Structure 1
């Protein structure tokens, strides 16, 4: 092998190696850019996740407060009703249609069914 061939071979290897290194640098930069983009996306995903969790928490708190208000109103309405014993307990258990039939058949006062025993009065004759 002559010195020319050696020099030419070294030059070719240098050029090939240089090209390989350049390609590796380009690939490395692309990988670095992709990693940066992935990190940016992870950050954005984390921010959106936190924002959604915050909104869900706020809506949950609002709904819970509305439920508490409704429960308070229901309890307030319940406290306004007095449940007293009925003289016509047997009629009460028959259901609406049965109670209506019995009241019509025996000409009972419907107030006996729907008013408490303390509030009922006999029918005028």
Structure 2
């Protein structure tokens, strides 16, 4: 049975979305079954017209240095890493309750990032038996 890792992504700040890309891509490359469930503020980053970058106030002074370093090492964006993970079989979902509360439907989300809009019970069934991370 292959290893399985699932992530519940709540935070919409870019400092937390970078690890979502890194972990999903690495796990998929290792052959893990990967499921990523975007809810809360994070789901707005998956819209066809996504929310702008948001960084925690306490880290704002370090953002330019981080961005320069990421460019220097030619690191892909978190979205590109997530897309690469999807190419290796990872699945990305948006929480149906939060989407409905925000007046959003599947067609509002970027189809290169989002596989489906599902309820938490569906996600938990898919995550069953694996490790679950909350980001």
When normalised by structure 1's length, the TM-score is 0.18
Of Structure 1 and Structure 2, the greater helix share is in 1
Of Structure 1 and Structure 2, the greater strand share is in 2
The structure with more radius of gyration: 1
Greater RCO structure (CA 8 Å; 6+ sep)? 2
